[in-house]
Amino acid sequence: MSTTVKKDRLFSEQSHGIGDFNFGEQTAEVFDDMLDRSVPMYRELQRMIGEIAGEFSVPGTSVYDLGCSTGTTLETLHLSTAPTVTLVGIDYSEAMLERARQRFLPLIESGRMRLDHADLNHGCAIGNASVVVLNLTLQFVRPLYRDSLIRQVVSGLNDNGVLILVEKVLAADSTMNHLFIKFYYDLKRRNDYDEMEIAQKREALENVLIPYRVDENVELLKRCGCREVETFYRWYNFCGLLGLKRV
């Protein structure tokens, strides 16, 4: 299941007309490197997601990765769940799904994994789920549709199932928010992104990635049916939440 990782240089050349960020073929080619260099403690976060999924996944149920992209989290879930768990990856980018199909062809052919195409803005079918992961995905769903999507997710979770939500977040205080963003861009510089790359990607994401505050995400999970919500990961302007369903 190894894949060749190409270095992310999507925004390394000056452009006079930055379009909205998209998840097409050019992004798919470099996406694994982009995540590794842009998401704080990404490898540790993957380990934590696997650890949690291993605790909550139930043999004979399904484990979903919504916004599965090229399949990094699916690989984590494969390694941390029982063979009788069905893994379901869902994404709206055919370029991302094609890379995931190449990566997991034996698992797909064996019935261990299924990859589906869907636009999460319009919902998706969730059923017999013990774990659902939204890893840096909900932030790209339009706010108008987030409640509907999370209600579908929680409805499809079995009792004592868990929703693993990781998001880029806003700080409640504007001073802290600016400080956290500064620290985040410092991380990107340490990971070999230059000033133009940082600025151009920020512009491309401006109308596409719409973050909530942590308390807004907590309230979202609770009003959509999660009885318990707990933080499991936090790095400045990134946060991971667990939403537990109990009937």
For residue 232, the 8-state DSSP code is: E
Three-state DSSP state, 56: helix
Could you tell me the residue range of the domain that residue 62 belongs to?
25-244
Flag whether 100 is in a domain: yes
105 vs 19, 77, 114, CA distance in Å? 33, 16, 10
Residue 12, pLDDT score: 67
Tell me if 19 is assigned to some domain.
no
Average pLDDT, the chain: 94
Q: Has residue 2 been placed in a domain?
A: no
* Residue 13 lies inside a defined structural domain of this protein: no
Q: What backbone phi and psi angles, to 5 degrees, belong to 161?
A: -75, 165
CA-CA-CA-CA torsion sign (47, 55, 170, 30):
positive
Q: What pLDDT, on a 0 to 100 scale, did the predictor assign at position 18?
A: 55
Query: CB neighbours of 174 closer than 8 A, spacing ≥ 6?
Result: none
**Model confidence pLDDT, tens digit, residues 179-219:** 999 999 999 999 999 999 999 999 999 889 999 999 999 99
**Does any domain span residue 152?**
yes
Classify residue 130: in a domain, yes or no.
yes
Question: What is the spatial distance between Cα 214 and Cα 167, in angstroms, rounded to a whole number?
Answer: 9
Is 195 among the domain residues?
yes
State residue 135 phi and psi, 5-degree precision.
-100, 100
| Comparison of pLDDT for 20 and 27, the residue scoring more | 27
Burial of residue 30 (number of CB atoms within 10 Å: 0-12, 13-18, 19+): middle
Q: What CATH number is attached to the domain comprising 209?
A: 3.40.50.150
List, for residues 135-154, the tens digit of each pLDDT value.
999 999 999 999 999 999 99
| DSSP 8-state secondary structure symbol assigned to residue 85 | S
User: In this structure, what DSSP letter does residue 159 have?
Assistant: E
The total of structural domains in the chain comes to 1
Amino acid at site 222: K
Q: Does 23 or 237 have the greater pLDDT score?
A: 237
User: What pTM was estimated for this model as a whole?
Assistant: 0.94
Question: Residue 50 corresponds to which tokens in the numbers above?
Answer: 């696997």
| DSSP bridge partners of 212 | 169
Report the distance separating Cα 237 and Cα 177, nearest Å: 8
Q: Please choose, from the candidates 61, 4, 2, 58, the residue with its C-alpha nearest in 3D space to the C-alpha of residue 30.
A: 4
Q: Are 76 and 197 in contact (CB under 8 A)?
A: no
User: What does the pLDDT look like over 87-142, one tens digit per residue?
Assistant: 999 999 999 999 999 999 999 999 999 999 999 999 999 999 999 999 999 999 99
Is 5 contained in some domain? Answer: no
The predicted structure's pLDDT at residue 149 = 98
